[in-house]
Amino acid sequence: MNEIFLDTETTGLSFGDGHKIVEIACIETKDLIPTNNIFHKLINPKRNVPDEAFKIHGFSEKLLSNQKPFEIIADEFLSFIKGKKLIIHNANFDIGFLNGELGVAKKDLINKAQVIDSLEIARNKFPGISNSLDSLCKRFNIDLSRRSKHNALLDCELLREVYINLLDVKEPKFDLSSTDKKVHQSLNSEKKYNKIVVEISETELKNHKNFLKTELKKNYY
C-alpha cells in the first residue's frame, strides 16, 4: 500500500468555530520513497483570514478569493488518497477539518483507521518533551532553512524525513580521524613483503667456510 504524507493550513484552530481549510498538500510515496505524485491546492475558505492565521501561513484573503472552494476539489482529493495510508502530524487537527469540510460537501468521510499519527509515535518515543514538527526536525538535524512560514507542501516533505527517523532512529556514525583510518586500513590490509637478494663475493664465501671449520671444531669436537 502506498502512503500519503498530508498537511493542511487553515484560518484557525477549530472547524466547529467556523474556521476553514485554505491549503491542502499530499505527497505520495511507495515504501516511503516519493512517487512524484502530488496533490496541492489553495482553497477559497469563503470567509475572512484572521491576522493570526495570515502571520502563520501568509495566504491573504485576496489570494484565496481567486481559488476554488473545497466542495469543488473534494472529489479530486478523495480520489488521490483512496486506498492509501495517510501519515499526518497531529492527525486529529487535520482530520477534524477535512471531515468537517467533507461533511458539508456531502462526501464520504475519512476513516481514522486509514490514518497514522506521527505525533503519537513521537510522543511514545520522546515522552515529556516537545514533539512539534519543528522540534523533531531540529532533533533529527533536518534542514529548516526553507521554512520561514508554514506551508503545507513543504511540511509534507519535512514530515516524510521526520517519519523515516521516527521509524528507525539512525545510530550516529563515528567520524574516524585520519590517524584512526590509517590504523584501521593497516590492520585490515594484506601485508606485502619485498624479497631482497644479496649476492656475496668469493672472498666473503671463503672467509665464511674458514669460520665454520675453526668454530665448529672448537665448540663441538
* Together in a domain, 47 and 119: yes
Same domain, 110 and 84: yes
Q: 9: which strand partners?
A: 23
pLDDT tens for 73-130 read 999 999 999 999 999 999 999 999 999 999 999 999 999 999 999 999 999 999 999 9
Note whether 194 and 138 are same-domain residues.
no
Cell numbers given for 93? 487537527
Q: What is the pLDDT of residues 11-70, one digit of tens each?
A: 999 999 999 999 999 999 999 999 999 999 999 999 999 999 999 998 999 999 999 999
Listed in order, strand segments (DSSP E) in 43-158 are: 85-88, 115-117
| Residue numbers annotated as active site | 150
Assigned domain for 176 exists: no
Same-domain check for residues 64 and 130 = yes
* Residue 96 shares a structural domain with residue 12: yes
Tell me what pLDDT residue 203 has: 61
Number of domains in the chain: 2
Domain of residue 36 covers 3-167
pLDDT in tens, 146-175: 876 778 999 999 999 999 999 984 544 434
Beta bridge partners of residue 96, listed in sequence order? none
Question: 173 in a domain, yes or no?
Answer: no
Based on the fold, state whether residues 67 and 146 are members of the same structural domain.
yes
Residue 126 maps to a domain: yes
The answer on 117 and 89 residing in a single domain is yes
Q: Tell me the average pLDDT of the chain.
A: 83
Q: Please, which contacts does 58-64 make with residues 24 or more away whose CB atoms are closer than 8 Å?
A: 58/149, 59/9, 59/22, 59/23, 64/22
